[in-house]
Amino acid sequence: MAMTEHTFSMLQRDITRVDAELVQRAAEFQAAILADVAGRRGTLHGRVKPLSARMKVAGPAITVEVRPGDNLAIHAALAIAQPGDVIVVDGKGDQSCALIGEIMSTQAQAAGIAGIIIDGAVRDADALTQGAFPVFAAGLNPCGPTKSVAGRVNHPVSVAGAAIQPGDLIIGDTDGVVVLPRAEVAALLELAQKKLDGENRRLQAIRQGDIRAPWLEEALRAAGMLTSGETL
């Protein structure tokens, strides 16, 4: 009985997801913009990359923790995830065995899952790269996984240096992946729009000949690289 209760607790089915309307709005921004307004934190290590530069993903996190080289818990996550979810796997950065390949990604796409992000290896890269389903991974390996070691689904995880709670917002594109805490998403999207508007104004100014950053001299003085009254 104790084993049954323990096993059940490792697989959480009911989570609170970031609102679908917020996911749709967030998908319009680059991961870089969202990372900036989130305080330049919440980004996964740069080793986790899309298999194709055109791949983008946005959605609430289904969190998975596995033992290196075993994907049993990922199969469980595929079984309980809802359309629009993003499966995010703490694979410990291990690249000795692939955790998913073409079959699992095809299953995920057919189930309406928005994408899979793994701090670990995948395989069948040729098929995955040619496909439209977003897969982000730390590397490749032709070796297949085992399916026998208990993992955890929908518990707090740390994936490639980023803390993620089930239901948090995941955004990934060619620059990488950022996670936004669910409770902060609405406020961060307002900041993201202001930042994007400001960056667009700066780009337009550069194209019109205003090349030097307007904040540069003040920052140089604050850092001691220019004295008071000195200019570039």
pLDDT digits (tens, 9 = 90+) for 5-18: 444 589 999 999 99
Distance CA 174, CA 183 (A): 25
The pLDDT-based confidence of 3 (bands split at 50, 70, 90) is very low
Q: Is 102 annotated as a binding residue?
A: yes
In this prediction, residue 154 carries a pLDDT of 98
Count CB-CB contacts under 10 A for residue 122: 25
226, part of any domain = no
CA distances from 46 to 1, 56, 106, 141, 174 (A): 43, 15, 25, 18, 11
Q: Is 123 annotated as a binding residue?
A: yes
208, part of any domain = no
Indicate the number of domains in the chain.
1
147, part of any domain = yes
Q: Which of 56, 62, 153, 147 is nearest to 100 (CA)?
A: 147
35, part of any domain = yes
Q: Is 104 annotated as a binding residue?
A: yes
Look at the alpha carbons of 22, 27, 31, 34 in this order and tell me if their dihedral is positive or negative.
negative
In this prediction, residue 4 carries a pLDDT of 47
Distance CA 109, CA 116 (A): 10
196, part of any domain = no
211, part of any domain = no
The fraction of the chain above a pLDDT of 70, given in percent, is 97
Mean per-residue pLDDT, 70-91: 98
Taking each helix axis from N to C end, the angle separating 72-80 and 102-110, rounded to the nearest 10 degrees, works out to 20
The pLDDT-based confidence of 1 (bands split at 50, 70, 90) is very low
Q: Is 101 annotated as a binding residue?
A: yes
Residue 68: which domain range?
Answer: 2-183
User: What does the CA dihedral 19, 21, 25, 31 come to, rounded to 10 degrees?
Assistant: 30
Q: For the whole model, what pTM was predicted?
A: 0.91
Distance CA 122, CA 100 (A): 5
In this prediction, residue 224 carries a pLDDT of 94
In this prediction, residue 8 carries a pLDDT of 53
Contacts of 28 (CB under 8 A, 6+ apart): none
CATH code of the domain in which 116 resides: 3.50.30.40
In this prediction, residue 229 carries a pLDDT of 84
45, part of any domain = yes
